[in-house]
Structure 1
Amino acid sequence: MNALAKCRMFFAVLMMLAIFSTFTLPAAAAAPAWDGNYHAYAVGDVVSYQGSEYRCIQAHTSLSDWTPAAVPALWEKLTTSATATPKPATATPKPATAVPTATPKPGSTATAEPTATAKPATPTSVPSGSKKFVGYFTEWGIYQRNYLVKNIVTSGSASKLTHINYAFANVANSQCVIGDAYADYDRAFTAAESVDGVADSWDGSLRGNFNQLRKLKAAYPNIKVLISLGGWTWSSGFSDAALPANRAAFVKSCVDLYIKDSRWAGVFDGIDIDWEYPGACGNTCNYRPEDTANFTALLAEFRSQLNAVRSGLLLTIAAPAAPDKISKIEVAKISQSLDFINLMTYDFHGGGWENQTNFQSNLYTPAADPATGNTRISVDSAVSSWINAGAPASKLVVGVPFYGRGWSNVPSANNGLWQTGSGSPAGTYEAGYEDYKVLKTKGYTRYFNSEAQAAWLYSNGIFWTFDDPAVMAAKMSYIKSRGLGGAMFWDLSGDTANGELITALYNNR
């Protein structure tokens, strides 16, 4: 190459560099904002939240308080741009992933611990009497609430329970779907967190809440555990699933997943259906008039398929208390398929949806109660409605709340009762909702209406309607007097560390 050619090439390279330098690489696309409104996230999804980006490491359906910053078991914070430096998604959270707890403590990560010395819980029989004590355990309670299956033992509740309803499985596309895989069967509990003092291993054996429930049943063999389907948030799929064309396949999917699946064989003793509500609006209004007959047929199909697996498998429902919703159910017919019926005799009133203060779970309706129509109800009216419609009294289990509902900016007249408030007071996890264990420590003045057999707290414009041990004792007396099946409560985590509320129920059986 001669000197002239070399010179031309040199200038050509300079020109190319100059041209190339004028181009700017496109900026990485911003990750979509995190959606806490029941959005389905898959492993590897990237979102932005409070100025940071997070990658999903466990498939789940979002809830408002499962923020990426609060639940590292579900989300991994990215230290650099997610699009600039991609890395493989991890299908299973690594052992070092810590689940958030209300009070972090040493050994709270999911790292496996030595298992040489087992400390099994002392086997204790559950009550042998005829009354049922049914407690809901929420799968998400292991996160911010830090309420573990082990706490059922340490609180003394395990020796009193007859049944545990595990909440919830999702109903999607006319199939039963795991609600939270990480909480259900993947989280590794440390020895300190485990029911029997033995840490979960990473050798492919069962972990998570399901394994802890299995250990609980080994120590308390008379406790029956049911998987609860749906709930307030996940009931929108029931109406479609109950259609004749979908019904049998839907039921089979639930039985296959929770009763037959060998991964958690023996954990579940039955299925609880929490459809809110057949033929009526709940969290959504995805219902049809045919729900009434379809609900009856759906329960009959569940009964048939459970019986085909083995005898003794349980079938229950969570049932409404309001007369307009009871009227959409063929009570006498469904009672034939069910072992018992858990009445949701709570949330009658609350500051989140009403301005006027009132009781959320009054035993009776006092004459001065200003409520009207379908909201003028009580435990007694709900029980009577179900019995009058054909339900055997012995199959009815009365629901009681282990939490309170509140109003703010309430006038002091009548100590706040039946007054007009505005807004909801702050709660630990949700405005207008607070656990009994927290309410009892607030120092507010307690009041009691003897006609309603209901209690409330009032102080400086804040009103809380709640049940305490005295109210629980009154409700157990009522349950016995009417020959009812027992008591159900939402939920176990709302009680005190020594189980004050369940003890009040149990001691008055």
Structure 2
Amino acid sequence: MRRSRRLSVSAALALGASAVLLAPLPAQAAAPSPDAPSKVVSAYFADWDVYGRGYDVKDIPATQLNVIQYAFGVPTYDPTTGTASCGILDPWADYQQVYWTGDNTVDGVADDPNNLDQHLFGNFNQLQKLKAANPGLKVEISLGGWTKSTWFSTLASTPQLRQSFVASCIDTFIKGNLPGGGWPAGAGGAGAAAGLFDGIDLDWEYPTQVAGGNNDVGPADRHNATLLAAEFRKQLDAYGTTTGKHYLLTAALPAATSSTKYYELKDFSKYLDWDNVMTYDFNVASGPKASPNTLFTYDPRDPNASNMTWNTTGTVAYYLLNGVPASKIVVGVPFYGQQYLRTGSANHGLYTAFDNTGLDPNALDADLAPQPTYHALVDQGGYVDAAGVTGGAGYTVNWDLLAGEPYLSNPAAPHNLTTGAATVPTVIAFSSPRSIGERTKLIKALHLRGAMAWEISQDSDSHTLIGALAPVLQ
């Protein structure tokens, strides 16, 4: 029967609580290591942030989160030699970029490229400084992602490749042995980044699935992913016995029923400190209707409404029912929206057909980006205030009562498109402090591990979205 109103937060919490009661009892989860935070607010920081928005490490609001996931390290395989390795995505941004003045540094101290004893520059150096100023802060290296998961299937396919790949990742990022020979002359070298990374985050997107050009995918990936996680846990623990430290192992995992399609979810998760569940991109511009990017609760009008887990509360319940302890579930939230052009007029354009011709996936401006950031909506376009309540520039803030999500609508929004009319009806589904606050309540009520955001540079200048997650740490 079609519901007349949105599932309330209290009802959503009851759904999750019921899932806990109905779930088969998992094996007793080991208590979190003293080195692993018991509550988590984590956010990705991408190495390219210093280029696009000009967002530097110093801009990260380190008092409002306790884990940074650095994107990305690159799983690599050489078919000619059969060699597995774990590489640097952008050496310049990562550890070679010189900060000539203190304006963009964490501590106000400029780099000295002529100092051969300075082996870290760029983001890695600034992250070290950020950790020094915030002793409880953890930094993980995230491996793969949508475009760099190319070789995961191959690297996970045999014991020998798993062992050598994991050893390479630990050597490069945990032991900090970076390539040298570039400029500045002192940059990189043995142990240059030692102590920077507190663990590894696996972003294999996705086992058994061709994502951004993955090679050699197949049904065996599902079990091989578990074996790969086991190998990471084994080698991280072994190295930890030599340093007296517990190294984190986490993973970015899919939402809804796709989680068990791609992963042996319970078995895979037991090797992790926690699961970063990507409860977003439920709807994207390849879908049939202008729909929420992330849904908090079930909406029968959604194009994927036949799947009851296709929302945040449904996904959390599904993870619990599949044996993942609440203490390992970290709920993902997007700091960006989904933009839909040439929508219909019904329901302010939500759940109507659309045509996104003319949008540019490489654009940073709100009027051209298919997935505009909250920063672009608030600080650049002025479409909405930082509180996510009041619209501007012709946009109205609406609330989807069923999904528990905000969206912007403008019946005649101007766009710098090269084709079509100068103004078109537009809908932008986005995250706001109110919708993120619902996640915070869910996390606290069900004693979940915490929240994760993609990604920190996409927040408003006033950090309102990460601020809505900060109470998780209290």
Normalization by structure 2: what TM-score? 0.77
Aligned residues: 377
- What corresponds to 2:62 in structure 1? 158
Q: Is 2:309–2:315's contact at 8 Å kept on the other side of the alignment?
A: no
Superposed displacement of residue 367, structure 1: 2.6
Superposed displacement of residue 366, structure 1: 1.6
Q: Is 1:201–1:207's contact at 8 Å kept on the other side of the alignment?
A: no
Superposed displacement of residue 350, structure 1: 1.6
SS, match of residue 72 in structure 2: strand
* Offset from partner CA, 1:106-151 (integer Å, 9 cap, x none): xxxxxxxxxxxxxxxxxxxxxx994310010000110121000010
Superposed displacement of residue 284, structure 1: 2.7
CA distance in 1, matches of 2:69, 2:37: 20
Superposed displacement of residue 363, structure 1: 0.6
Counterpart among 82, 86, 92 of residue 182 in structure 1: 92
Q: Is 1:448–1:456's contact at 8 Å kept on the other side of the alignment?
A: yes
Counterpart among 434, 441, 448 of residue 484 in structure 1: 448
- What corresponds to 1:305 in structure 2? 235
SS, match of residue 264 in structure 1: coil
CA distance in 2, matches of 1:422, 1:318: 31
CA distance in 2, matches of 1:383, 1:280: 23
* Offset from partner CA, 1:478-509 (integer Å, 9 cap, x none): 11122211110000101112211111111465
Q: Is 1:163–1:224's contact at 8 Å kept on the other side of the alignment?
A: yes
- What corresponds to 1:25 in structure 2? none
* Offset from partner CA, 1:311-341 (integer Å, 9 cap, x none): 3110000000141343231111112210000
Counterpart among 192, 207, 216 of residue 278 in structure 1: 207
Superposed displacement of residue 285, structure 1: 4.9
* Offset from partner CA, 1:34-70 (integer Å, 9 cap, x none): xxxxxxxxxxxxxxxxxxxxxxxxxxxxxxxxxxxxx
Superposed displacement of residue 171, structure 1: 1.3
CA distance in 2, matches of 1:372, 1:450: 15
Superposed displacement of residue 407, structure 1: 0.8
* Offset from partner CA, 1:169-221 (integer Å, 9 cap, x none): 11111321100000000001131110000001111311110000000000001
Superposed displacement of residue 398, structure 1: 0.3
Q: Is 2:253–2:259's contact at 8 Å kept on the other side of the alignment?
A: no
- What corresponds to 1:400 in structure 2? 333
Superposed displacement of residue 274, structure 1: 0.2
CA distance in 2, matches of 1:376, 1:337: 24
Superposed displacement of residue 381, structure 1: 1.7
- What corresponds to 2:219 in structure 1? 289
RMSD, aligned CA = 1.8
- What corresponds to 2:417 in structure 1? none
SS, match of residue 337 in structure 1: coil
- What corresponds to 1:91 in structure 2? none
- What corresponds to 1:362 in structure 2? 295
- What corresponds to 2:252 in structure 1? 318
- What corresponds to 2:147 in structure 1? 233
CA distance in 2, matches of 1:183, 1:265: 18
- What corresponds to 2:74 in structure 1? 170
Superposed displacement of residue 249, structure 1: 0.2
CA distance in 2, matches of 1:138, 1:400: 16
Q: Is 1:350–1:407's contact at 8 Å kept on the other side of the alignment?
A: no
CA distance in 1, matches of 2:281, 2:126: 30
CA distance in 1, matches of 2:107, 2:143: 28
- What corresponds to 2:5 in structure 1? none
| In the alignment, structure 1 residue 146 sits paired with structure 2 residue 46 | no
- What corresponds to 2:420 in structure 1? none
Structural mapping, 1:67-146, within 5 Å: 130-146=38-54
CA distance in 2, matches of 1:191, 1:342: 34
Counterpart among 130, 134, 142 of residue 216 in structure 1: 130
Unmatched segments (≥5 aa) in structure 1? 1-127
Counterpart among 370, 395, 409 of residue 432 in structure 1: 370
Q: Stretches of 4+ moved more than 3 A in 1?
A: 372-376, 424-427
Q: Which has the higher contact order (CA 8 A, sep 6+)?
A: 2
CA distance in 2, matches of 1:369, 1:315: 34
Give the AA of the match of 1:161.
L
SS, match of residue 159 in structure 1: helix
* Offset from partner CA, 1:386-408 (integer Å, 9 cap, x none): 21111111101000011111110
- What corresponds to 1:266 in structure 2? 195
Q: Is 2:298–2:308's contact at 8 Å kept on the other side of the alignment?
A: no
Give the AA of the match of 1:263.
A
- What corresponds to 2:29 in structure 1? none
SS, match of residue 128 in structure 2: helix
SS, match of residue 383 in structure 1: helix
Q: Is 1:355–1:423's contact at 8 Å kept on the other side of the alignment?
A: no
Structural mapping, 1:411-422, within 5 Å: 411-422=344-355
Normalization by structure 1: what TM-score? 0.71
Give the AA of the match of 1:180.
D
Q: Is 2:308–2:314's contact at 8 Å kept on the other side of the alignment?
A: no
CA distance in 1, matches of 2:155, 2:307: 28
- What corresponds to 1:200 in structure 2? 111
Q: Is 1:348–1:375's contact at 8 Å kept on the other side of the alignment?
A: no
SS, match of residue 372 in structure 2: strand
Segment of structure 1 superposing worse, 283-292 or 304-313: 283-292
With over 3 angstroms needed to count, the CA separation of the structure-2 counterparts of 1:129 and 1:299, relative to structure 1, is: closer
CA distance in 2, matches of 1:468, 1:337: 33
The structure whose Rg is larger is 1
